[in-house]
Amino acid sequence: MKKTLLCATAVAAFASAGLVAQAEEGWYGRADVGYVFSGKLDHDPERDVLHTMGGDSDSDEMWLGDLGLGYGFDNGFRLEGVVDYRTGDLDVGPGINGGLPADIIGADSSTALYAAHADGNMQVWDLMLNGLYDFNRDGTYQPYVGVGIGAATVSAKARNLAAATGFGGSMTGAYGANGFSDEDSGIAYQALAGIGYSLSDKLKLDLGYRYYTIDNLDFKGVGPLGERVNYTADYQDHSVTVGLRWNFGAPAPVAPPPP
């Protein structure tokens, strides 16, 4: 589904190339800050170990920033390289594989398992290559769409505590922390859309939206009794950004030949 979204965005951009004229050509720099308003790290243990951490973790108060250098062509297309950084907390879910709440197990059961003291955080560095297309390049407002691909390094911690309760809900004991605290790298993809507003002939205000995903991450973790358990994970998020683009200058026009 997410690969289809990225491909559809690219096709729409290239199919619209003939609708825009008089695009500026030349190098530009960009800087943005943003907020991740919806994100999820979907993680699962590679093997079935009872009472390991289950479910997934949602992003919580995650922010991003980036710096980039690009080149705008006279047909409306842009190509840019961008370094991004994301950081924030993870809202780790309460799932325990094989755990059941006390009211399901029954009052005559000696123990029931549940997750306690869940916490996590995540940092992401990436280097992205983005291809974009600008509409209405001769106007003050310039919408754009684009797609990107790159390499990302993810440092993530997600854990909870498999706690045991007895009759009446009193804690009778606790296992060690489930989960992982590790780093891995993967391929990142993104789809971009936004609008540029010309503040001057060289400076633009950029308001944007991004859908971002990283596939096939592997984190080394532990189970509740200290056994080695590896987790596979995918990450995706939606963010909004605000930034500036500075055009370093288009090539000087060629003088027409004398009559």
pLDDT in tens, 78-94: 999 999 999 999 988 77
**CB within 8 A of 188, min separation 6: which ones?**
126, 128, 148, 149, 150, 151, 152, 212, 213, 214
Nearest-Å Rg of the Cα atoms of the chain is 24
pLDDT in tens, 211-220: 999 999 999 9
Q: Which residues of 219-231 are buried (b: 16+ CB within 10 A; e: fewer)?
A: bebbbbeeeebeb
Average pLDDT rounded to a whole number, residues 143-169 = 82
**CB within 8 A of 50, min separation 6: which ones?**
97, 98
Tell me what pLDDT residue 205 has.
Answer: 98
Domains in the chain and their CATH numbers?
Answer: 2-249 (2.40.160.20)
Tell me what pLDDT residue 226 has.
Answer: 75
- DSSP 3-state helix, strand, coil percentages of the chain (rounded to 5)? 10, 65, 25
Tell me what pLDDT residue 175 has.
Answer: 56
pTM comes to: 0.77
Tell me what pLDDT residue 144 has.
Answer: 98
Tell me what pLDDT residue 5 has.
Answer: 46
Closest-CA residue to 192 (of 131, 242, 135, 234): 131
Model confidence band, residue 238 (pLDDT cutoffs 50, 70, 90) = very high
The mean predicted confidence, pLDDT, of the chain is: 81
Assigned token pair, 64? 């991003």
Residue type, 74: D
Which range of 42-51, 56-65, 206-215 scores highest in mean pLDDT? It is 206-215
Assigned token pair, 83? 């370094």
Give CA angle at 243 (78, 91), nearest 5°. 110
Tell me what pLDDT residue 98 has.
Answer: 61
